[in-house]
Structure 1
């Protein structure tokens, strides 16, 4: 089996280098590595190109400059000839046995199961905090521990069959935050399963939102606002399109807007509402929904 990694990066040559070091120091080497670069200027791109040239079987491509999910699509679509895919942001260091353990897990499956199964492990920080992959999505769109089969992956410690991305892609209307949630909802709808594998571990070196953990409105960072907006978009897609239930959709929207208004007041960020609505892409969502209804 062939496992390739897709690295998304932006304006971070030092982090990209240490990320690549971790990958190529693995016990089992990846079949190939794609680096998709969303950097904002040509000087940064040139630095990243030179870093990539130091590593074998590693390809550099320019990203689309439309957010992390669009960048992930750019990367995975450049790797057609592999069996398995891991998505690694530039601030993630996979453990040395990550690829070995992933291949061992898939080798225990039948070919049919191998093509219909995601595996997910643990994302941890240098301080020892762990986010386990056995998670589900609550009614309101928050990650919660799961006693049964996971319904979501921890993207930093997950592996996917490459063939899945011939059927689905990362949701590009979600600029940043919870892209793994809607991807997994689509996978579950198609009959895929998610398997928790605690031996898959990856270190998140910047767990607090990275470059987006600044600015924002009131006491909210830019990262917070992206997360809030993504939750609204995903909730509407979930209850209107993926698992249609008008009653749940109405209840979700009532709870979302009432709870979020209180939350924004507490965070002195009520002025963030227009930005949240804009980033949630709900205008585009309802235009798309109206077009779908007209075609029926």
Structure 2
């Protein structure tokens, strides 16, 4: 079987080089690598293009500049001939046996299982802590579980055919987008199989402007994450797995807990911005399958991510 990697990058030329080096140093090489670059400056784009040219089999694309999910869609839609897809951020390093073990696992499956199974491995952060299989609570928080309901994205492997049916939801700027995609996979009767031998490592070198305080002690990342949690919670119980009682419960819990949390963070004035960024208005316009009907304002995206 053939595994291709989709690498999303932005303003991180050295990280991109190290990421691609690790990919192409794998015991079993990727069938192809697509790099989608959301760097806003032409100079950085040129440097990243030169990096990719050092790795035969790697294709460079200019990103859409409209959010991480759109950047992943840009990459995966450029993959034509392959069987499996892995998504890698530029600050991650794949274990040398990652691709080989993923292919070995799929080769042990029946044909129908190959097309309906998503592998979820183990990601190690910059401090060496490892991820565990997760599910979402009623309130939309990650909780450990024996049977995973959320793919460990950067240690995950998807059948290519899945992305002929689904795309990353571009209404989500950043935060828990892997949970939303996983729920759509479960709705389509895919299974998520935990595979502890699939390992990926966070280099711990990348600093991001989203980690800087924005409103009170709340960072841009946390604002976007809470906005995503609101959007995903409503979409979960309104569209993906319709349940009016759980929808009411989720909205009630969010409405009570979020102001309390923001007060403790001295960031109550961030609430209107969280609601605005949540894009819940688009849930009234999108299809039940989760169509990506919203395109981000490019200027807003660059301002938030630079």
Deviation at 1:105, TM superposition (A): 0.8
What is aligned with 1:136? 135
1:241 to 239, 242, 251: 239
1-structure distance, mates of 2:258, 2:267? 10
Question: Is 1:254 matched with 2:224?
Answer: no
1:107-118 equivalences in 2 (<5 Å) = 107-118=107-118
Structure 1 contact 209–223 (Cα < 8 Å) conserved: no
State the Cα deviation string for residues 239-294 of structure 1 (Å, max 9, x = none): 000000111101100101110110000000001011101110012223558xxxxx
What is aligned with 2:199? 201
1:15-94 equivalences in 2 (<5 Å) = 15-94=15-94
Structure 1 contact 67–172 (Cα < 8 Å) conserved: yes
What is aligned with 1:176? 174
State the Cα deviation string for residues 177-220 of structure 1 (Å, max 9, x = none): 11110101001001000000000110112499844111321111
2-structure distance, mates of 1:208, 1:153? 23
State the Cα deviation string for residues 86-119 of structure 1 (Å, max 9, x = none): 0000011111111111111111101110010000
2-structure distance, mates of 1:24, 1:222? 34
2-structure distance, mates of 1:223, 1:274? 16
1-structure distance, mates of 2:244, 2:56? 51
What is aligned with 1:292? none
State the Cα deviation string for residues 118-167 of structure 1 (Å, max 9, x = none): 001111024221112x21111111111112x2101111100000000000
2-structure distance, mates of 1:54, 1:187? 35
Q: Out of 121-130 and 109-118, give the one that drifted further.
A: 121-130
Counterpart of 1:69 in 2: which secondary structure? helix
1:191 to 186, 189, 192: 189
Structure 2 contact 123–200 (Cα < 8 Å) conserved: yes
2-structure distance, mates of 1:126, 1:141? 25
CA RMSD of aligned residues (A): 1.4
What is aligned with 2:157? 159
Structure 1 contact 178–227 (Cα < 8 Å) conserved: yes
**Segments of 4+ moved more than 6 angstroms:** none
What is aligned with 1:294? none
What is aligned with 2:296? none
Structure 1 residues not aligned, in runs of 5+: 290-296
Deviation at 1:173, TM superposition (A): 0.3
Q: TM-score if structure 2 supplies the norm length?
A: 0.91
Structure 2 contact 91–206 (Cα < 8 Å) conserved: no
Structure 1 contact 220–267 (Cα < 8 Å) conserved: yes
Q: TM-score if structure 1 supplies the norm length?
A: 0.94
Structure 1 contact 156–204 (Cα < 8 Å) conserved: no
State the Cα deviation string for residues 25-71 of structure 1 (Å, max 9, x = none): 11110000000000111111100000000001000001111111110
Q: How many residues align?
A: 287
